[in-house]
Amino acid sequence: MARCEVCFRHCDIKEGSLGFCGARACRDDKVAAVNYGRITGIALDPIEKKPLARFYPGSMILSVGSYGCNLRCPFCQNYDISWSDETMAAARRINEDASDREIRYISPEELAFLAARYKPEGNIGVAFTYNEPLIGYEYVRDTARLVKAGGMKNVLVSNGTAELSILLEILPFIDAMNIDLKGFTDDYYCKVLGGSRKMTMDFIERAVKDCHVELTTLIIPGENDSEEEMREMTDWIAGLKDDNGRTIGAEIPLHISRFFPRFKMLDRDATDIRKVYRLAEVAREKLKYVYTGNC
Ligand code: SF4
């Protein structure tokens, strides 16, 4: 038995079993990332797709993802690799050392090599994305170090739900992040997503001091779509400070996205486009760079 200290769940994991996220297991009384280097998706994507609007616009980035997630968003766009029954079954097979043909092992060295090979296509580096990368932060750290040593960039697309000690371990190698700030009430974070708003806010507060950060909020009808909540959230973002205590929050880009019924959340329509545009207007009262997505 060992305790995982990566996220707020602090799973106590029995020998040979998986933690809640399906990506970490207890082996020989130690917690290890069993999804290390196990890639479920790899693609050369435009950087705007991460989404990052103000970090090397027009460039491409080699994007990779593994499997597993520590949250349980019922509207997950990538449920097939994050937390569906099939994902968890595949995670159990991998933990038992069975081979899985759909998951390819790519070592940090191989991924850094691939990133450099795609330079002529406009590639600037590697993005860790698709599933939650921080539940397998060791792979992010080991790969990002090599990518950076090769003069290329690293991007992290994360739910920001990890301990600061994990953030500090990878931060020296990460150049830009898109972090989900999924809403601004504890109730929504806790009951709908199975997450921790406080941990996410602490993570963002620290990340902006050393890294280019953009934020994303998916607007779910009836959950996080009030103007009051958007005002409260953008007030908080606008007040964020850099390492010298200078207020820089108004410069942080915010992506406001439209929801479509998906996965387990099929009980409501897509977000009204007018609502997304109105909330973007509200956000612009405090922030300089607000983008709408999926509209
Ligand atoms: S990262 Fe995974 S195993 Fe570790 S505490 Fe979080 S959910 Fe549990």
pLDDT tens digit string along 49-86?
A: 999 999 999 999 999 999 999 999 999 999 999 988 88
The answer to which of 40-49, 77-86, 206-215, 228-237 has the lowest mean pLDDT is 77-86
Q: Does residue 33 have its Cβ closer than 6 Å to ligand 1?
A: no
CA distances from 207 to 25, 108, 138, 160 (A): 27, 23, 18, 9
- Phi/psi of residue 144, each to 5°? -60, -35
Check residue 93 and give its pLDDT: 86
Check residue 97 and give its pLDDT: 72
Q: Does residue 7 have its Cβ closer than 6 Å to ligand 1?
A: yes
pTM above 0.85, yes or no: yes
- Residue with the nearest Cα to atom 5 of ligand 1? 10
Q: What is the mean pLDDT of residues 207-220?
A: 98
Distance (Å, whole) CA 36 – CA 39: 8
Nearest to 87 by CA among 102, 106, 105: 102
User: Burial code of 33-71, b = ≥16 C-beta within 10 A, e = fewer?
Assistant: bbbbbbbbbbeeeebbebbbbebbeebbbbbbbbbbbbb
Q: What is the mean pLDDT of residues 245-256?
A: 97
Nearest to 273 by CA among 217, 221, 216: 221
The answer to which of 80-94, 168-182, 229-243, 259-273 has the lowest mean pLDDT is 80-94
Q: Provide the mean pLDDT of the chain.
A: 96
Contact by Cβ (8 Å): 50, 157 = yes
99 pLDDT higher than 80 = no
Residues 6+ apart with CB under 8 A from 44: 60, 61, 62, 63, 118, 121, 123
How confident is residue 1, by pLDDT bands cut at 50, 70 and 90?
A: very high
Contact by Cβ (8 Å): 106, 36 = no
Q: Does residue 134 have its Cβ closer than 6 Å to ligand 1?
A: no
Q: Does residue 9 have its Cβ closer than 6 Å to ligand 1?
A: yes
Nearest to 66 by CA among 139, 123, 16: 139
Residues 6+ apart with CB under 8 A from 113: none
Distance (Å, whole) CA 41 – CA 66: 7
* Beta pairing class for 41-46 and 60-65: antiparallel
How confident is residue 248, by pLDDT bands cut at 50, 70 and 90?
A: very high
Angle between helices 108-117 and 137-149 in degrees, nearest 10: 40
